[in-house]
A and B are shown apart, each in its own frame.
Chain A
Amino acid sequence: MNLTYFLFFICIILCTLIITYWAAKRSKTANRFYTAAGSLTGLQNGMAIAGDFISAASFLGIVGAIALHGYDGFLYSIGFLVSYLIVLYFIAEPVHHLGKYSLGDVICARFPGTHMRLMMAVGAFLISILYMIPQLVASGLLIRLLLNIDYSISVVIIGSLMTVYVVFGGMLATSWVQIVKTVVLMSGTFLLVLIVFSRFDWNVNALLAAVQDGTPLGEGFFLSGNLFQQPLEMLSLQLALILGTAGLPHILIRLFTVKNTHEVRRSITSATWIIGFFYVMTLVLGLGAIAIVGFEQLVAADSTGNLAAPLLAQAVGGDFLLAFISAIAFTTIVAVVAGLVISATTAFSHDVYHHLIKKGKSTEKEQLTAARWTALGIGFISTLFALRLENMNVTFLVSLTFIVAASSNFPVLLLTIYWKRFNKVGAMTGMISGLIASFVFVVLGPHIMNLDGGWISREPIFQLSNPGIVVIPIGFLGAIIGSYLSPESKQLHVEEKEFFIKAHTGIATRREGA
């Protein structure tokens, strides 16, 4: 590792640690630890949401997918972006009105009870961990490829950084690390886009012509069908993408970090602006990578195309730019995993420890201590897992996360907020059927059952690698059938009414102890 790389990395680590130190002095209460006491503005939170959402898989993976597969690679990013409208239209404001720190709070505002809370905590915990492990594994592999550092060392560095941010700085440090990441990522990609265009004298047609020369697909690069031959597969993926975000706990708990619904809406809309511009830029980078670097070299460096962006940076700007882009990729990774650590921590320490073990009676100080220890434990355990999984192909876990979120959390949230006939039994059956169906169909599908390198070496029983189109309806059906099979909610009519008033207007008609 040469000095340029070293300086960039030290600079980023120092910056984020200074943020953490500053945040640590301000994270003295549970409210501040979990939600930064609602102190962020809409724009800041929008940037943090973008920072939470755009993973290294988006940054490097989509550039690579576009470079290798053309049009179909770009389709991925569209689904990620449009999904924010579902969050904005259905979920965002009610979640902000009803919840305090976690999604468990939101559901338990209507269906209080230990089982319900435990179920929501398990859901949030599973989704966060399932998403975190592949990110950690991918980051270890990436840093090894980029910098020639040993896999275990890079995983340990990233694992300890994310743990330090959350343990000491809580949500405040996490948010600001994510905001810094968004700024660095957007400006870095913008710079790279300008360089790519200047290479072709700002002539888009020249770029497109060079793309056709660079790709073995020729003119077919610009046509659909290079990645998704099966229409059903594509539809299924798009369905999971558009509904998945609205069930991701690490995105939804960010809605507690602003003070009112106006800021909630500003958060989501500014996130869509940032993410939209970002995906347009990744398109240019994908085109630039295939035009300037060329197909053979991209595939030779990494067959999945994940190194397209770094290779492009090296080709147009030499080692210095490569170091800069690598540092950006590194920041991207730590910001995303820190967001996942805090969402898993909230699920465990707020829902399980505070509400279930201590029956909601632990003091502010106990809550804070519990949260810090939980964050430490989660960081430690997931780093250990990531170390063990070096040689496993775990990338499918990322798409699994979206499917689990879209088929368990999303139906239950949606029906809780909007459906009057919904009841506790329905919420439980919805969560359980969504979770189980996702796992069953992924295990039976080509990710796991695969003659060529799968965990179970045999023909897949279920043909789609994205089972969303089957699993999401199962989640909804589970919730609906469960509600109809059980007697109508025994809860007082008045309480239900209070719930709906609070969900849709934020007006609490009754003073609550919690």
Chain B
Amino acid sequence: MLDEHVAKLIDKKKRFVLPMLVFLFAFYFMLPLSLAFFPDVMNSSSVVFQITWGWLYAFLQIPMTWIVGWLYCRNAKQLDQWIEERKQEVVS
């Protein structure tokens, strides 16, 4: 009974964490990679406030960190709730 629940929990967690992780690594490493391979594009003015794409992208990493962190917490809260419910079931 417990094993099943835990397996299900890990599965749920995986389904959230893996895509987020692919996104995170792609978003983070695209910055140095794009600076290395497309310096001209990254150093040209972007649409916002006349700053370059390089600056814009670097700045975006900061809200990205906050949002991706917040999403994790939201998901973890749901999982915690799910664990609580299963615990109640097991007890009763």
Chain A interface residues toward B at CB < 8 A: 71, 74-75, 78, 81-82, 84-85, 88-89, 93, 222-225, 231, 234-235, 238, 242, 261-262, 265-266, 268-269, 272-273, 276, 279-280, 497, 500-501, 504-505, 507, 509
Contacts and interface: CB of A to CB of B under 8 A. Distances in A.
Given A71-B55, A81-B62, A224-B35, A505 B69 contact: no
A74 B57 CA distance: 12
A74 B32 contact: no
Contact of A509 (B2, B17, B42, B73): B2
B31 A265 contact: no
Given A71-B55, A89-B21, A231 B62 contact: no
Interface string B72-91: 11001100100100000000
14 contacts: A71-B55, A81-B61, A82-B64, A85-B68, A224-B42, A224-B43, A225-B39, A234-B36, A238-B29, A242-B28, A265-B72, A269-B66, A276-B62, A279-B62
Given A223-B52, A224-B42, A261-B80, A504 B13 contact: yes
A279 to B, nearest CB: 7
Nearest to A86: B24
A231 B17 contact: no
Task: Decide if the interface of chain B is mainly helix, strand, loop or mixed.
Answer: helix
Contacts of B20: 89
User: A-B pairs with the 10 shortest C-beta distances?
Assistant: A231-B36, A223-B43, A276-B62, A269-B69, A224-B35, A78-B61, A234-B32, A265-B73, A501-B6, A235-B32
B2 A222 contact: no
Contact of B62 (A225, A242, A280): A280
Contacts of A222: 51-52, 55
Q: Which among A78, A265, A501, A509 has the highest number of chain B CB atoms within 10 Å?
A: A78
Contacts of A89: 17, 20-21, 24, 72
Given A262-B77, A265-B76, A279-B62, 13 more contacts: A71-B54, A71-B55, A78-B61, A81-B62, A81-B65, A85-B24, A225-B35, A231-B37, A234-B32, A235-B33, A242-B28, A497-B3, A500-B6
Contact of A269 (B6, B13, B73): B73
Interface in B1-53: 2-3, 6, 9-10, 13, 17, 20-21, 24, 28-29, 31-33, 35-37, 39, 42-43, 51-52
B31 A78 contact: yes
Given A78-B61, A84-B65, A505 B83 contact: yes
A269 B76 CA distance: 13
Contacts of A501: 2-3, 6
Nearest to B18: A89
A75 B59 CA distance: 10
B30 to A, nearest CB: 11
Contacts of A500: 6, 10
> Which bucket holds chain B's interface residue count?
35 or more
B27 to A, nearest CB: 9
Nearest to B54: A224
Contacts of B70: 269
B15 to A, nearest CB: 13
Contacts of B24: 82, 85, 89
Nearest to A219: B43
B64 to A, nearest CB: 8
A37 B78 CA distance: 27
Nearest to B25: A242
Q: Which among B13, B62, B66 has the highest number of chain A CB atoms within 10 Å?
A: B62
B55 to A, nearest CB: 7
A501 B61 CA distance: 34
Contacts of A223: 39, 43, 52, 54
Contacts of A224: 35, 39, 42-43, 54
A501 B3 CA distance: 8
Given A223-B43, A224-B43, A242-B28, A74 B62 contact: no
Contacts of A231: 32-33, 35-37
A235 B76 contact: no
A504 B2 CA distance: 13
B65 A85 contact: yes
Given A78-B58, A238-B29, A505-B83, A276 B65 contact: yes
Q: Which among B2, B9, B37, B65 has the highest number of chain A CB atoms within 10 Å?
A: B65
A273 B66 contact: yes
B88 to A, nearest CB: 14
B34 to A, nearest CB: 10
A494 to B, nearest CB: 11
Contacts of A78: 31, 58, 61-62
A88 B72 contact: yes
Contacts of A262: 77, 80
A276 B65 CA distance: 8
B58 A235 contact: no
A505 B86 CA distance: 12
A222 to B, nearest CB: 6
Nearest to A78: B61
B10 A504 contact: yes
A416 to B, nearest CB: 15
Contacts of B33: 231, 235
Contacts of A242: 28
A342 to B, nearest CB: 26
A82 B28 contact: yes
